[in-house]
Amino acid sequence: MSNIIAPDEIRSSVREHYGKLARKSSSCCGPSACDCDFNSMYSNQLANAVPEDIANFSLGCGDPITIASLQPGETVVDLGSGGGLDCFYAAQRVGATGRVIGVDMTPEMLAKARGNATRLGVTNVEFREGYIEHLPVADGEADVIISNCVINLSPDKPQVFRDMYRALRSGGRISISDIVTNGELPAIVQSSMEAWGACVAGALDMRDYARGLQQAGFADVRVEPKGKFDAGLSLIPVHVPFSAIITARKP
Minimal distance in Å, beta carbon 110 to ligand SAM?
A: 9
- Our finding on whether 105 is near ligand SAM (CB under 6 A) is yes
User: Beta strands of 87-203 (E only): which ranges?
Assistant: 99-104, 125-129, 142-148, 168-181
Tell me how many residues contact ligand SAM (CB under 6 A).
27
Q: Which of 100, 149, 167, 206 forms a contact with ligand SAM (CB under 6 A)?
A: 149
Q: Which of 33, 46, 59, 94 forms a contact with ligand SAM (CB under 6 A)?
A: 59
- Our finding on whether 110 is near ligand SAM (CB under 6 A) is no
Task: Give me the torsion for CA of 90, 101, 220, 73, rounded to 10°.
Answer: -60
Q: Which of 116, 154, 190, 247 forms a contact with ligand SAM (CB under 6 A)?
A: 154
User: Beta strands of the chain (E only): which ranges?
Assistant: 75-79, 99-104, 125-129, 142-148, 168-181, 204-205, 219-225, 242-249
Minimal distance in Å, beta carbon 107 to ligand SAM?
A: 9
* Of residues 13-42, those binding ligand SAM (CB under 6 A): 14-15, 18, 29
Minimal distance in Å, beta carbon 18 to ligand SAM?
A: 4
CA dihedral sign, ordered 153, 158, 161, 163? negative
* CB neighbours of residue 33 within 10 Å: 21
- Our finding on whether 60 is near ligand SAM (CB under 6 A) is yes
